[in-house]
Chain A
Amino acid sequence: MENQKVLLLGDEAIAQGAIDAGASGFYAYPGTPSTEIMEYVQHSKEADEGNIHRQWSANEKTAVESALGMSYAGKRTVACMKHVGVNVAADPFVNSGVTGANGGLIVVAADDPSMHSSQNEQDSRFFANFSLIPCLEPSNQQEAYDMMFYGMDFSEKFKTPLLMRITTRLAHSRSGVVLKSKRPQNSLKLPEDGRQFVLLPSISRKRYKLLLEAQTKFVEESENSPFNVYTDGADKSLGVIACGIGYNYYMENFPSGSPNPVLKIGQYPAPRKLIERMAKECKTILVIEEGMPLLEENLRGFMNAPLEIKGRLDGTLPRDGELNPNLIRIGLGLSDNTGNDVPEVVKLRPPAMCTGCSHIDTYKALIETVKDVYGDGHVFSDIGCYTLGAYPPYEIINSCVDMGASVTMAKGAADAGLFPSIAVIGDSTFTHSGMTGLLDAVIENTNMILFILDNSTTAMTGGQKSHAYGKIKDICIGLGVNPEHVREVVPLPKNHSEFVNIIKEELEYNGLSVIIPTRECIQTIGKKK
């Protein structure tokens, strides 16, 4: 494969890069826009031949912990997730900065500015920043590939985990990538210091000081990194700092070269010397960052910097949402190239549940028994295709916050006296983060009904294998839900009255009920044909 140029999505470039850089394992939970990293590895012949670990994890926390274990054992590993998955994995991720790594360890976080498929647009670079963990931010598919080699070497040289931060556009855009020669995997090699990973306070304090001391070296590495490049320009009235794919959007406007000095940043902590040079030579600095104004805030400081800083905080660029070449043009005071307006006849076309989807039958039963009888405001939902029940004609759900929150919000609302208190959660989301919340409800026999919508797959992200498959009833009973109130039903139009009766019966029961409507996702059935 060496020197061959192949067309890869950003996600695929990361996967192939890690395989070629000698990774022994991938750990991930599906989440747009990160899903295709693991899917690529699962379909890779090389991964199969190299016996690379490539099963999905229950959630992002278990993924990062397993990756940390593989790193402990001396092998190279990657944990992948979407940005909000980093919240779930925050505990092991932040602490991995203190333990450090043994085998190369890279956590990939795929951010979603403009919230194409997410509930917020948080910027994962903040996690790296406050965890004192170095961060890589590729601007294109080739860099994403190359950075897996660079990152694994860096991780093993400095015994630290790394975060790679990408955004939707890079994750889901395809371009040519030139491959390097493949490296062998590491063999098993345990940490030299047997207590490196024991974060007892007395040890943690020592390790934390080591992490603080390492920051100087991390900054030096950034200053000399091939991914942080200063290009001089004749017009010093403005200097441009462009991070990650922000660099592309700037350069798109200057195909024959930037008139102003440009500092392209692809590695953090930020390269101090290079920024100081720009601050010395330029009157004003424009900071272009995809996501949140992390570097811009640092440069401004609380008291404002001695030179003018432009970016997302002063309105030069929009405060929120994804950037693009035209937004940069406007920020630079160049002409707006936008063509004619979208004609008024063009209507919104939001995503919808598929015709024949099992969730539709569940919602029809819920509408008849709950919405029509008790009015709105009683159905807590979760993250998955069934969240689309918020749209007409159903408009049946009243919350979507984070993975598992339906269960515990329904519990809290029931504790407050709400009746009926109903939660709906998908099978994969239930095993991701719903089981622990259900245990809370079991302990108090909370008067609520939890619907676990079992379509036997992780549907919204394209039909990945669900850990819950064939286990949901046993899990509920195992957690202590009264078996008489664990009810199963096949959500089909012909079973509507049966379904309605089950809900009515459980509404009359003063305690915890679980209803499991089970019917496979019609998309995954279609794929099997």
Chain B
Amino acid sequence: MKRDIILAGVGGQGILSIATVIGFVVVDQGLYLKQAEVHGMSQRGGDVQSNLRISSDPIYSDLIPAGQADLIISVEPMESLRYIPFLSRTGWLITSTAPYVNITDYPENDVLMNEIRKVKNHIAIPADTIAKEIGSPRSSNIVMLGAASAYLDLPFEKLEEGIQKIFGKKGEKIVESNLKALHAGRDFAKSYIA
């Protein structure tokens, strides 16, 4: 088993909470993990990514080799495209459609969506809207995780367990809304590719 995942977004959007849930499951399953993060300057509103490598065999490189990523999970549409050179020909691009505009030359939405549609295996999710609809606007990250869940090769109920474990400290309400977000994301992805 091997999954190379690029998590993408803008500094401050909190892509690492997605990584934390996946990391919990990976350790629980006794798999190997390497997770390279971006700290420092870029966290101030710049582009950030995390390389998440999961394998049943020991992993050498902390970085995913170019053209080998199985998944790009992005919480921002333009950022999802920044890592295209890393995506394998059979890989999936799973992105939120909610733009984060903090630059003056941010592309038009149509142009962006056209590029995303050019990727054969893609899922574009209005994660922010879904999170709002289920009454949990801050859980759009977990909506993204839910949408990607079918491609992780990890048991879904373990992801649920991870959310309970990680958000448990913050109270039952937060756990519930994140579980809801996880399911909503999964359901959306199912209908998207159906």
- Count of A interface residues, CB-CB < 8 Å: 52
What's the Cα separation between A341 and B86 when bound, in Å? 9
> Is B39 touching A35 in the complex (CB atoms < 8 A)?
yes
Task: Name the CB-closest residue of A to B59.
Answer: A175
**Cβ < 8 Å to B, chain A residues 177-198:** none
The reply to whether the CB of A500 lies closer than 8 angstroms to some CB of chain B is no
The reply to whether the CB of B32 lies closer than 8 angstroms to some CB of chain A is yes
User: Known: A116-B41, A173-B34. Contact between A347 and B67, CB under 8 A?
Assistant: no
Give the Cβ gap from B151 to chain A, nearest Cβ, in Å: 17
Give the Cβ gap from A110 to chain B, nearest Cβ, in Å: 11
The reply to whether the CB of A338 lies closer than 8 angstroms to some CB of chain B is yes
> Is B61 touching A338 in the complex (CB atoms < 8 A)?
no
- Count of B interface residues, CB-CB < 8 Å: 51
> Is B45 touching A346 in the complex (CB atoms < 8 A)?
no
> Is A345 touching B39 in the complex (CB atoms < 8 A)?
no
User: Known: A339-B88, A340-B84, A350-B46. Contact between A32 and B65, CB under 8 A?
Assistant: no
User: Known: A342-B84, A351-B46. Contact between A169 and B39, CB under 8 A?
Assistant: no
**Cβ < 8 Å to B, chain A residues 300-338:** 324-326, 329, 336-338
Stretch from B98-106, B156-164, B176-184 forming part of the interface with A: B98-106
- Chain A residues with Cβ below 8 Å from B87 are 339-340
Stretch from B107-115, B133-141, B142-150 forming part of the interface with A: B107-115
- Chain B residues with Cβ below 8 Å from A148 are none
> Is A249 touching B37 in the complex (CB atoms < 8 A)?
no
Give the Cβ gap from B70 to chain A, nearest Cβ, in Å: 12
- Chain A residues with Cβ below 8 Å from B67 are 326, 337-339
- Chain B residues with Cβ below 8 Å from A172 are 36-39
Task: Name the CB-closest residue of B to A5.
Answer: B27
> Is A324 touching B102 in the complex (CB atoms < 8 A)?
no
> Is A324 touching B66 in the complex (CB atoms < 8 A)?
yes
- Chain A residues with Cβ below 8 Å from B34 are 173-175
The reply to whether the CB of A353 lies closer than 8 angstroms to some CB of chain B is yes
> Is B60 touching A351 in the complex (CB atoms < 8 A)?
no
Give the Cβ gap from B118 to chain A, nearest Cβ, in Å: 8
- Chain A residues with Cβ below 8 Å from B132 are none
The reply to whether the CB of A460 lies closer than 8 angstroms to some CB of chain B is yes
User: Known: A175-B34, A349-B103. Contact between A169 and B44, CB under 8 A?
Assistant: no
- Chain B residues with Cβ below 8 Å from A338 are 66-67, 85
What's the Cα separation between A172 and B84 when bound, in Å? 23
What's the Cα separation between A83 and B69 when bound, in Å? 31
The reply to whether the CB of B94 lies closer than 8 angstroms to some CB of chain A is no
> Is B84 touching A341 in the complex (CB atoms < 8 A)?
yes
> Is B37 touching A325 in the complex (CB atoms < 8 A)?
no
Task: Name the CB-closest residue of B to A352.
Answer: B45
What's the Cα separation between A55 and B95 when bound, in Å? 42
Encode contact with B along A17-58: 1 for CB under 8 Å, 0 otherwise. Answer: 000000000000000110110000000000000000000000
- Chain A residues with Cβ below 8 Å from B105 are 347
Task: Name the CB-closest residue of B to A329.
Answer: B65
> Is B62 touching A245 in the complex (CB atoms < 8 A)?
yes
> Is B81 touching A248 in the complex (CB atoms < 8 A)?
no
> Is B65 touching A345 in the complex (CB atoms < 8 A)?
no
What's the Cα separation between A336 and B111 when bound, in Å? 29
What's the Cα separation between A32 and B81 when bound, in Å? 27
Task: Name the CB-closest residue of B to A117.
Answer: B40
What's the Cα separation between A352 and B43 when bound, in Å? 9
Task: Name the CB-closest residue of B to A335.
Answer: B67
User: Known: A346-B81, A347-B106. Contact between A462 and B62, CB under 8 A?
Assistant: no
> Is B44 touching A385 in the complex (CB atoms < 8 A)?
yes
> Is A351 touching B62 in the complex (CB atoms < 8 A)?
no
> Which of B35, B38, B45, B62 gathers most chain A CB within 10 Å?
B62
Give the Cβ gap from A274 to chain B, nearest Cβ, in Å: 21
> Is A352 touching B44 in the complex (CB atoms < 8 A)?
yes
**Cβ < 8 Å to B, chain A residues 32-91:** 32-33, 35-36
User: Known: A345-B107, A347-B103, A461-B40. Contact between A176 and B68, CB under 8 A?
Assistant: no
Task: Name the CB-closest residue of B to A10.
Answer: B62
The reply to whether the CB of A417 lies closer than 8 angstroms to some CB of chain B is no
Encode contact with A along B38-55: 1 for CB under 8 Å, 0 otherwise. Answer: 111111111100010000
The reply to whether the CB of B23 lies closer than 8 angstroms to some CB of chain A is yes
What's the Cα separation between A415 and B36 when bound, in Å? 47
The reply to whether the CB of A475 lies closer than 8 angstroms to some CB of chain B is no
Give the Cβ gap from B1 to chain A, nearest Cβ, in Å: 14
> Is B40 touching A460 in the complex (CB atoms < 8 A)?
yes
The reply to whether the CB of B63 lies closer than 8 angstroms to some CB of chain A is yes
- Chain A residues with Cβ below 8 Å from B107 are 345-347
Give the Cβ gap from B44 to chain A, nearest Cβ, in Å: 4
What's the Cα separation between A320 and B125 when bound, in Å? 39
The reply to whether the CB of B190 lies closer than 8 angstroms to some CB of chain A is no
The reply to whether the CB of B10 lies closer than 8 angstroms to some CB of chain A is yes
Give the residue of A7, A324, A353 whose beta carbon is less than 8 angstroms from that of B44. Answer: A353
The reply to whether the CB of A255 lies closer than 8 angstroms to some CB of chain B is yes
- Chain A residues with Cβ below 8 Å from B102 are 349, 352
> Is B39 touching A349 in the complex (CB atoms < 8 A)?
no
> Is A339 touching B11 in the complex (CB atoms < 8 A)?
no
The reply to whether the CB of B33 lies closer than 8 angstroms to some CB of chain A is yes
The reply to whether the CB of A520 lies closer than 8 angstroms to some CB of chain B is no
Give the Cβ gap from A121 to chain B, nearest Cβ, in Å: 14
What's the Cα separation between A348 and B42 when bound, in Å? 12
- Chain B residues with Cβ below 8 Å from A255 are 57, 60
Give the Cβ gap from A266 to chain B, nearest Cβ, in Å: 14
Encode contact with B along A109-134: 1 for CB under 8 Å, 0 otherwise. Answer: 00000001100000000000000000
User: Known: A345-B81, A347-B107, A349-B102. Contact between A339 and B66, CB under 8 A?
Assistant: yes
The reply to whether the CB of A390 lies closer than 8 angstroms to some CB of chain B is no
Give the Cβ gap from B146 to chain A, nearest Cβ, in Å: 23
The reply to whether the CB of B89 lies closer than 8 angstroms to some CB of chain A is yes
What's the Cα separation between A338 and B107 when bound, in Å? 25
User: Known: A7-B33, A176-B32. Contact between A325 and B39, CB under 8 A?
Assistant: no
The reply to whether the CB of A418 lies closer than 8 angstroms to some CB of chain B is no
> Is B66 touching A354 in the complex (CB atoms < 8 A)?
no
- Nearest 9 CB-CB pairings of A with B: A32-B40, A117-B40, A351-B46, A337-B67, A325-B65, A173-B62, A351-B44, A173-B36, A252-B61
Q: A339-B85, A349-B79 are in contact. List 18 more A-B contacts (CB 8 A).
A: A7-B23, A32-B40, A116-B40, A116-B42, A174-B35, A175-B35, A249-B60, A249-B63, A324-B61, A325-B61, A336-B66, A339-B86, A343-B84, A345-B115, A346-B78, A349-B47, A351-B43, A460-B41
Q: Can you show 9 pairs from A to B with CB atoms below 8 A apart? A: A33-B40, A174-B36, A175-B32, A175-B62, A253-B65, A351-B43, A351-B45, A460-B44, A462-B39
